[in-house]
Amino acid sequence: MWDGSSNLPGVTLNPFSDRPEKEATMSLGYARKMWALDSPTLTVEAVTLMYGLSGQVTIPMPAFLIQHDRGLVLFDTGIAPEALDDPVATYGKDLADVLGLEGTTEQRIDKQIEALGFKTSDVTHVISSHLHFDHSGGHHLFPDAAFYAGPGEMAAAHFPPALGAFCFIPEHLARMQSWNWKEVTRHGHDLFGDGSLQLLWMPGHTVGELSLKVRLASRTFILTGDAVHLRAALDLEFPFPLDTDTLSAVESLRRIKRIAEAEEASIWITHDPDDWSEYAHAPGYYE
């Protein structure tokens, strides 16, 4: 009787699948530390973040620095550092006038990395949740890193749908062309092969939106990127008004909740001001 073995070393065959299944002998790993880098803020009309709200809301725009034995990783790079000095020159008057940007030069992402004892050249991997200006503004500070984007994100950023097209800055995208870009598949990507940093495709806000699951020794986080903007939207499963695909966006909200429940992970909503207040940020860290 066939016992499920094969003639390939380290591989068994699952009779219910047409693909080989590697034996589960590799131990799972952990990232060493994670810092939420202090954040400039935007003040925007609340209804632009979630249907049914009124008034204005001030939201953070953090990036996350993660130390792993095999590299130093950034999830997003926040607002363009030069915008802290001159938002009009960086984004144009029409966009700059509605941003309500507040921040200091000490909140530049390069300054914050240096304050933690690293150099910008130490960053080996940059993961883009997506390529909107408030998440990819500091990418140009890390030209030698390996860059990761979700499926179709780069193409959509260059030829965006009319809805939300203003969030892509053509001049900033143009300088990214020659860098080392890797496109994540729809199945996601395990960055170091040990389960510690898993890129999760969460389409809807943009076609290639990524969230990042970070497993540390003490706890696991899901960094949502813009798959969700506010805690209330996650609870109610409300899409973002400027999502490119509403149905996909709602399914991504549900997937984030399912993954968090299954793995007892903490959800950190990047733009939510209450999440920013609740969790530690640099120089504090999680390990």
Residue 158 confidence (pLDDT): 85
Strands 266-268 and 220-223: parallel
Distance between the two ends of the chain, CA-based, in angstroms? Answer: 49
Q: Report the sign of the C-alpha dihedral through residues 120, 140, 72, 178, in that order.
A: negative
- Partners of residue 102 on adjacent β-strands: 41
Residue at token pair 């696991």: 220
Half-sphere exposure of 146 (CA within 13 A, CB side): 11
- Fold designation for 29-278: Metallo-beta-lactamase; Chain A (3.60.15)
How far is the C-alpha of 113 from the C-alpha of 66, rounded, in Å?
A: 11
Q: What is the pLDDT of residues 121-155, one digit of tens each?
A: 999 999 999 999 999 999 999 999 999 999 999 88
Residue 192 has pLDDT above 80, yes or no: yes
Strands 20-22 and 41-45: unpaired
Residue at token pair 């729809």: 186
- Higher-scoring residue by pLDDT: 9, 201: 201
Residue 206 has pLDDT above 90, yes or no: yes
Confidence band of 27 (pLDDT split at 50, 70, 90): low
Arithmetic mean of pLDDT, 108-125: 97
Arithmetic mean of pLDDT, 199-213: 97
Residue 17 has pLDDT above 70, yes or no: no
What b/e readout covers 273-284, taking b as 16+ CB neighbours within 10 angstroms?
Answer: eebbeeeebbee
Kindly report the CA angle at 81 between 160 and 93, in degrees rounded to 5? 60
Arithmetic mean of pLDDT, 42-61: 92
- Higher-scoring residue by pLDDT: 224, 51: 224
Q: Are 149 and 155 in contact (CB under 8 A)?
A: no
- Higher-scoring residue by pLDDT: 29, 23: 29
SS3 assignment, position 139 = helix
Arithmetic mean of pLDDT, 265-279: 96
Confidence band of 193 (pLDDT split at 50, 70, 90): very high
Residue 2 confidence (pLDDT): 38
Per-domain boundaries in the chain? 29-278
Averaged pLDDT score across all residues of the chain: 88
Residue 92 confidence (pLDDT): 87
